[in-house]
Amino acid sequence: MSFSDGVRSGMAGLAVLMLAACGQSGPATVEAPAEPAPVETPVPEPAAFAPTAADFKCIRDMHAVRGFYVDNLLGYLEETVAVAESETGGVYPPGSVVQLVPGEVMVKRQPGFNAATKDWEFFELDVTAEGAAIRVRGADEVVNQFGGNCLACHEKAKPEFDLICEQTHGCDPIPLTPVMVKAIQNTDPRCAPVENLPADQLEALAALQAFREATTAN
Question: In the complex, which residues of this chain contact ligand HEC (CB under 6 A)?
Answer: 67-68, 98-100, 104-106, 122-124, 142, 144, 148-150, 153-154, 164-167, 171-174
Nearer to ligand HEC, 160 or 166 (CB): 166
- In the complex, the smallest distance separating the C-beta of residue 151 from ligand HEC, rounded to whole angstroms, is 8
Nearer to ligand HEC, 8 or 124 (CB): 124
d(CA 151, CA 121): 10
Question: Which residues are bridge partners to 136 per DSSP?
Answer: 124
- In the complex, the smallest distance separating the C-beta of residue 117 from ligand HEC, rounded to whole angstroms, is 10
Nearer to ligand HEC, 4 or 168 (CB): 168
- In the complex, the smallest distance separating the C-beta of residue 148 from ligand HEC, rounded to whole angstroms, is 3
Q: How far is CA 132 from CA 55, 105, 122, 187, in A?
A: 9, 11, 15, 14
- In the complex, the smallest distance separating the C-beta of residue 194 from ligand HEC, rounded to whole angstroms, is 20
Nearer to ligand HEC, 75 or 178 (CB): 178
For the stretch 157-161, contacts whose Cβ atoms lie closer than 8 Å and that sit 24 or more positions apart, written own/partner, are: 158/89, 160/38, 160/88, 160/89, 160/90, 161/89
d(CA 201, CA 182): 7
Phi–psi pair at 64, nearest 5 degrees: -80, 130
